[in-house]
Structure 1
Amino acid sequence: MKVKGALGRLVVMIVAAGLVGAAIAFPLVGGAGVVAGQVADSAVGSTSDLESGVMPAATTVTDSAGTPIAYLFDQYRIPVPADRISPAMKAAIVAIEDRRFFEHGGFDPLGAARALVNNSNGGATQGASTLTEQYVKNYDLYVAARTEAERRAAVAPSYARKLKEAELAISLDHRVSKDDILADYLNIVYFGNGAYGVGAAAQAYFGTTADRLTVAQAALLAGMVQSPTEYDPIQHPEAATGRRNVVIEQLRQQGSVDAGQAAAAAAEPLGVAAVPTAPAEGCIGAGDAGFFCSYVVSYLAQSGITQDQLESGGFTIRTTLDRGALDKLKAAVDGQVPPTQPHVADVISVITPGADGHHVLAMAANRTYGNKPGQSSYGLPYVPENMGAGSVYKIFTAATALEQGALGINTVIPVPPSGYTSPIYRGPSGTPIPVRNDGNYADQLPLTDALAESPNTAFVKLEETTGVPPVVDMAERLGLTSLATTPASRAPGAPSIGDVARRQRQASFTLGVSPTSSLELANVMATLASHGTWCPPSPVLSVTDRSGVPVTVTQPACKQVLDPGIADTLMNGLSRDDAPGGTSAAAAGSEGWDRPVAAKTGTTQEYKSAAFVGATPQLAGAAIVFDDSNAPRPICDGTPPFSCGSGNIYGGKVPARTWYRGVGDILAGQPVVPLPPPDPRYLGQQP
């Protein structure tokens, strides 16, 4: 009788192994029933893929102290080398799954012949696979397969698949040590409850590591491999106990443990965790650090490390996050606006300035990070919100005027009355429209006082002198990098937000109508506090691969974007916002603020957002309150703030209180450091 195809090749392999009798005893019925269900070859291309032993591993994201805050993975797996897996675990899996593992050459002809006989009346349903073959199958399923069709092929009941596994297993056995094959198998197999591999299983079920697994623990895990669902120790403890004890008995019969050890292990309780599951996947599991974690992922993507790489690469990412600072910022935002308050988001970002880097210390939002109703996974603190930051942008006009030499920080500037019609302030049709102030002001003010009191007409008038494009340029240089990007809502290739403002000579730019984020504004203040040195707002201290080798994270280099004298002078010139007459004086007093601070408030025209920025020599930060719904409405100040018809929110209210409380609590106990003195070159006339 001539046997063709995959079945025939299996028989040849058995015959070649010297088991002719067993092969002949197999009733070769032929026909469709024997070869039914044959599928394409494994997605594993060669033994070189299998030899590597490299498989998907979870990436760990930590805070600055090295404490994990999140795990990024597609499969929660913690690969461990052979010497970090307990002997009991190795013995248990061999005892129950492949007792001839150390004798055969990757393919066990005796087991294969037995399977052929048992499966003669149907497709290839009985496995009898060696651990090496199982490793091939699992590698195919969990690593090599990229499509659903390939995943189905990896587990299809066909002789074609069995043959491919056997051939690869034999080749692998000749090239890789038994101990490494065993470790690779234990690292890849699924143990249920989201735990892939023995490292993850040891942690999920017993809160331990693979090298510390006891005989009883190892027996439980080894027994679960056959069916993680059927032998789930939480859902089916009796079945799991019975299966565990079968493994223990196999260990006794094979001499891995003696009778006393077997009896003691069988008498132990299962001892598994009450909820033996893998940690939550992604930034959802980071809790209050979710927004920061999300920014880390976005930041690394810009440097070339993709989401897919993070979910399978086994990196360790040590971030700049200060957990204590986060807790204080979270308390500050929630204290002003409860997480469930509709239409009102309160966000804050804090950065440590420095000429060699701007590290993001923490960021927080009053929203709970997540995907459930009432939660948000949108990057509220770092993705630009559309309503703008109001008069905070007057900082850019003042900086431009100082740089152009038009005036000094003490120069008295005109304050036209409310309703002033500027030749450069025009509506969409080109018709001049009046500029209005929110309050009454003196006809003239020193620039320092104008920054503190914030009359709109004064800065539109000043912008007539500086020109709009240089002010937009200044904003980009100091940290509003999103101005150089095109919003996703616009067609690819459309001009950036900044380009539109420059081309149209948008005099409203100084009034803060352009989208921005608390992170960008915090970095603006960090640039000023760093004596005019801009650096990207970095959330990462280091990245290492699964072997502990450092990974380079590419980012723009720090650069001097503003004369240090101008930066220091402007910091000093912004120092009166918390003083009597300043727009945040009441907020500073209510929160007990008692340090020198460079600060500025901002409110948008329709009261849909308001902002506060501030910096000390140690910290720079920004808080924004805005309507985060799909249909933004004005916000009214209250306890808590609420969505309303007209609005009366101001940067000196909720945003300033959030900032003074959060940053004040972070700085508590630290030395009070004065602001830098102004540079005499940029003082101008005395008031």
Structure 2
Amino acid sequence: MRKADGLFKLIGLCLLAGVLVAGMLFPVVGAAGVMSNQASETVEKTSSDLADIPPPLVTTVTDNSGKPIATLYSQYRLPINPDQINEAMKWALVSVEDKRFYEHHGVDWQGTLRAAVSNSTGADTQGASTLTQQYVKNYLINVVYRGDTIGQKKAQEQSIARKLKEARIAIQLETKLSKQQILAGYLNIVEFSRQIYGIGAAAHAYFDTTPEKLTVPQAALLAGLVNNPINNDPWNHPDKATARRNLVLDRMVDNKKLAKADADRFKGEPLGVVPDSPKKPPANCIGAGPEAGFFCQYVEDYLLKAGGMTRDQLYSGGYTIKSTLDERANHEAKVSAEAQVKKTQPYIANTLSLVKPGKDRHEVVALAANRDYGQNQDAGQTTYTLPAGVYNTGGAGSTFKVFTTAAAMDKGIVGIYSPIDIPDTYVSRVYTGGGNSCPQTGPPLRSRWYCVGNAGDYSRLASGATIQTALATSPNTAFVELEDRIGSTGPAIDMAHRLGLRDTMASSAAGRTPDPKAEKAELRDPQSKFYGPQGNSPGLGSFTLGVSPVSGLEMANVAATILSGGVWCPPTPIAGVTDRNGKPVAVKEAPCEQAVPEGLANTLAIGMSKDDQPGGGTSFQAANAAGWTRPLIGKTGTTQANVSAAFVGGTPQIAGAAMTFKFGGGQGGICDAGPGRVSLCPGGRDGNIFGGHAPARTWFGAVSRILEGQPEAPLPQPDPRYMGGPGR
């Protein structure tokens, strides 16, 4: 009966509108007819859009225990069911917006024709839309055409064609949905200003309550807002908001849904909104706070880049994203990073990234920095993902010697116990650029030769040193000479990529996305090309000294790959994702791969196992101060002029990288006078920081606390094929 009734009403509207236009407004009949036909053709599609395109909802990010840490949204909306709307809210809205809502079948014919006459004659535009029609219009504006200004404009233009199309859709909805469903649908979609959409979010944001518990004056205020939420904002325009609320109360009296005496009493009450501004969570990772914000940002970046999501999907899909964040580990990492470098220390970042090794997943458990995550730069805050992105433009120093070592092992050139020379200085006749000036003694040397010295006295190791010894004591000359034996930087660069430096090697030598149009090679080419062999050049020999921009998280994942038997997996922050209905959502992640032979990785781990030991291990003092006794792999690194330093290490339970580097400007190197006294050196002079200082102290300070109570785990057994010996 209702379908037939709706059809007759539609025919009546078309006939009446046609007669009205033909008889009184003949000049516009052609245009009106064309637009009406166009509207008819799109009614079915629009009706389908209303059914098939769900409204934007809030996405929730949690830690690994399921505890929410942040919300992501473009529209703050908390959906409700029809039975969650109390009578006060229903009648306040109906009284002010559509008092015949329960009588019509989607269109108020008298009001629609009156508006058509007024609008067509050039008089003031009139709406006369029912709540059902407003539901259609708001759904198009806030859902179907969100972010599409042209579509939004068309959805609210003042024209007969738009009114006719809207009326037909409204009639269809009334044949499919009950009045309560339409009312709830409208109240779930409509805007209440300041990114607040729907009565569920509005009740919480305005009054810190739920729709079921709204009082009559509260309901009247919210019902009055939908007409013009910006103009009637109770915080910016309390007088207008009060006047509008009181008008709604009067309409409720006129509609016989409220006694006049009660209305008069309610008019004397204050607005009662929460103080200062709406109560709603931040719309992005700022809500994760100063500690977890970096991790939340990495979750977002990961899903947008590797996970195959769009930003609109992420911020409107209503997902629940369970992350791999271990809040305790992250807190310990934050405390340790900040203990070494104060959060307000100008121009210096200190980061710690931690990853759990494994042969099927590499889960990120902590991303911390001395800086707080946030937007207040004066308080030392930043929203750059310092622990994860390629932000250490100074480089990771000698930690890159691991790649040269692994490449030489892979080619059978050396094993971890192979002897290695450690001259005071070394002049490479293979590589170009990136080192100290060549000595001007004897015959002139060609400018393309690469000359390097050591940062310290290694005379005591002049004989009997092995690759394992060199990894622990880190002489520069030994590893540049090893590059010469390999023949080019290509294998070491390839090894860096295989073990984990994927984004790093794809970035430019300036730490940015390569610009193919740039004139300078350091801006134009990815690092893999800039430092690699080109033409007759075997590459830049400085690569093994870690002079290039690098990601702390990717260096942590390098350690995780070595400790996972050579299996690389993407450093994932995602434990699982469910949609708005609680159904699992597949996340597109790169598959794990056997980056290097397991025997090589296990033997390399043993080769890196002496860094914390007395007798020359570069991180011994930091390890000893932390009371460290566990087996580990480790490697320190320091760059030219001490502008940055790093420590990369791990156990079978956890791997990580700590980096101290310049960020945001400043002149000179970094001076390290002990925990909490790390700063730029005065006068712009060279620094004195090393990887065994602040970075190692950060790593051991955090990881020793994180592993408290866990059993010591042994390192893997080496493979004789990669061990080497005196003869090799």
The TM-score normalised by the length of structure 1 is 0.87
**CA 1:87–1:415 in structure 2 vs 1: closer, same or farther (change >3 Å)?**
farther
Q: Is the 8 A contact 1:55 1:188 kept in 2?
A: yes
Q: Is the 8 A contact 1:357 1:536 kept in 2?
A: yes
In the aligned structure 2, how far is the partner of 1:364 from the partner of 1:352? 15
**CA 1:212–1:565 in structure 2 vs 1: closer, same or farther (change >3 Å)?**
farther
Aligned to 1:68: 68
Aligned to 2:679: 641
Within the alignment, does 1:59 sit opposite 2:66 as a pair? Answer: no
Within a 5 Å distance, the mapping from 1:192-231 to structure 2 comes to: 192-210=193-211, 213=214, 217-231=218-232
In the aligned structure 1, how far is the partner of 2:52 from the partner of 2:91? 23
Aligned to 1:349: 353
* CA RMSD of superposed structures (Å): 3.7
Aligned to 1:433: 450
Residue 590 of structure 1 deviates from its aligned partner by 3.2
Q: Is the 8 A contact 1:53 1:184 kept in 2?
A: no
Moved more, 460-469 or 508-517: 460-469
- Count of residue correspondences: 670
Which SS does the other structure have where 1:346 is aligned?
strand
Which SS does the other structure have where 2:332 is aligned?
helix
Residue 534 of structure 1 deviates from its aligned partner by 0.9
Moved more, 361-370 or 522-531: 361-370
Aligned to 2:6: none
Which SS does the other structure have where 1:170 is aligned?
helix
Give, as a single letter, the amino acid of the residue that structure 1 aligns with 2:531.
Answer: A
**CA 1:571–1:262 in structure 2 vs 1: closer, same or farther (change >3 Å)?**
farther
Given candidates 673, 681, 692, the residue that maps to 1:652 is 692
In the aligned structure 2, how far is the partner of 1:265 from the partner of 1:314? 37
**CA 1:569–1:664 in structure 2 vs 1: closer, same or farther (change >3 Å)?**
same
Aligned to 1:479: 500
Moved more, 140-149 or 458-467: 140-149
Aligned to 1:614: 649
Q: Is the 8 A contact 1:28 1:120 kept in 2?
A: no
Aligned to 1:333: 337
**CA 1:432–1:59 in structure 2 vs 1: closer, same or farther (change >3 Å)?**
same
In the aligned structure 2, how far is the partner of 1:87 from the partner of 1:360? 49
Aligned to 1:187: 188
Give, as a single letter, the amino acid of the residue that structure 1 aligns with 2:706.
Answer: I
Q: Is the 8 A contact 2:74 2:195 kept in 1?
A: no
**CA 1:102–1:164 in structure 2 vs 1: closer, same or farther (change >3 Å)?**
same
Moved more, 101-110 or 279-288: 279-288
Given candidates 432, 450, 457, the residue that maps to 2:470 is 450
Residue 107 of structure 1 deviates from its aligned partner by 0.9
Q: Is the 8 A contact 2:388 2:551 kept in 1?
A: yes
Q: Is the 8 A contact 2:566 2:597 kept in 1?
A: yes
Residue 121 of structure 1 deviates from its aligned partner by 8.1
Q: Is the 8 A contact 1:575 1:596 kept in 2?
A: yes
Give, as a single letter, the amino acid of the residue that structure 1 aligns with 2:453.
Answer: R
Within a 5 Å distance, the mapping from 1:222-301 to structure 2 comes to: 222-235=223-236, 240=241, 244=245, 247=248, 271-274=272-275, 275-288=277-290, 289-301=292-304
Within the alignment, does 1:496 sit opposite 2:496 as a pair? Answer: no
Give, as a single letter, the amino acid of the residue that structure 1 aligns with 2:466.
Answer: P
Aligned to 1:470: 491
Given candidates 511, 514, 517, the residue that maps to 2:548 is 514
Residue 615 of structure 1 deviates from its aligned partner by 0.2
Aligned to 1:3: none
Aligned to 1:388: 395
Moved more, 254-263 or 299-308: 254-263
Give, as a single letter, the amino acid of the residue that structure 2 aligns with 1:60.
Answer: T
Residue 340 of structure 1 deviates from its aligned partner by 2.5
Given candidates 588, 598, 613, the residue that maps to 1:554 is 588
Q: Is the 8 A contact 2:514 2:526 kept in 1?
A: no
In the aligned structure 2, how far is the partner of 1:363 from the partner of 1:85? 43
State percent identity of aligned pairs: 48
User: Deviation per CA, 1:519-572, whole angstroms, max 9, x where unpaired?
Assistant: 010000011121211100001111222222222111111122223233222223
User: Deviation per CA, 1:261-303, whole angstroms, max 9, x where unpaired?
Assistant: 9899889875543231432222233322222222222211223
In the aligned structure 2, how far is the partner of 1:492 from the partner of 1:351? 36
In the aligned structure 2, how far is the partner of 1:556 from the partner of 1:221? 48
Aligned to 1:672: 712
Moved more, 108-117 or 442-451: 108-117
Q: Is the 8 A contact 1:51 1:176 kept in 2?
A: no
Within a 5 Å distance, the mapping from 1:1-40 to structure 2 comes to: 13=13, 16=16
User: Deviation per CA, 1:478-509, whole angstroms, max 9, x where unpaired?
Assistant: 11113552532430796532234331333222
Aligned to 2:382: 376
**CA 1:149–1:453 in structure 2 vs 1: closer, same or farther (change >3 Å)?**
same
Aligned to 1:136: 136
Q: Is the 8 A contact 1:193 1:277 kept in 2?
A: no
Q: Is the 8 A contact 1:608 1:632 kept in 2?
A: no
Which SS does the other structure have where 1:502 is aligned?
coil
Within a 5 Å distance, the mapping from 1:579-598 to structure 2 comes to: 579-580=613-614, 581-598=616-633
Q: Is the 8 A contact 1:96 1:223 kept in 2?
A: yes
Moved more, 522-531 or 298-307: 298-307
Q: Is the 8 A contact 2:95 2:255 kept in 1?
A: yes
User: Deviation per CA, 1:16-61, whole angstroms, max 9, x where unpaired?
Assistant: 59xx9xx99xx979999xx99x999999962222233622223222
Q: Which runs of 5+ in 1 are unaligned?
A: 1-8
Q: Is the 8 A contact 2:116 2:160 kept in 1?
A: no
In the aligned structure 2, how far is the partner of 1:258 from the partner of 1:52? 42
Aligned to 1:409: 416
Within the alignment, does 1:529 sit opposite 2:536 as a pair? Answer: no
Give, as a single letter, the amino acid of the residue that structure 2 aligns with 1:351.
Answer: V
Aligned to 2:98: 98
Q: Is the 8 A contact 1:13 1:109 kept in 2?
A: yes
Moved more, 508-517 or 167-176: 167-176
Which SS does the other structure have where 2:282 is aligned?
coil
Q: Is the 8 A contact 1:358 1:538 kept in 2?
A: yes
Give, as a single letter, the amino acid of the residue that structure 1 aligns with 2:529.
Answer: D
In the aligned structure 2, how far is the partner of 1:335 from the partner of 1:49? 55
**CA 1:360–1:649 in structure 2 vs 1: closer, same or farther (change >3 Å)?**
same
Moved more, 433-442 or 338-347: 338-347
**CA 1:567–1:211 in structure 2 vs 1: closer, same or farther (change >3 Å)?**
farther
User: Deviation per CA, 1:69-106, whole angstroms, max 9, x where unpaired?
Assistant: 33222222233444554555444423332232222121
In the aligned structure 1, how far is the partner of 2:669 from the partner of 2:601? 34
Which SS does the other structure have where 1:413 is aligned?
coil
**CA 1:446–1:84 in structure 2 vs 1: closer, same or farther (change >3 Å)?**
farther
Give, as a single letter, the amino acid of the residue that structure 2 aligns with 1:406.
Answer: I
In the aligned structure 2, how far is the partner of 1:144 from the partner of 1:508? 55
Residue 252 of structure 1 deviates from its aligned partner by 7.3
Residue 177 of structure 1 deviates from its aligned partner by 3.6
Residue 251 of structure 1 deviates from its aligned partner by 5.8
Within the alignment, does 1:358 sit opposite 2:390 as a pair? Answer: no
Aligned to 2:78: 78
In the aligned structure 2, how far is the partner of 1:496 from the partner of 1:152? 44
Within a 5 Å distance, the mapping from 1:164-175 to structure 2 comes to: 164-175=165-176
Aligned to 1:5: none
Q: Is the 8 A contact 2:50 2:144 kept in 1?
A: no
Q: Is the 8 A contact 1:627 1:633 kept in 2?
A: no
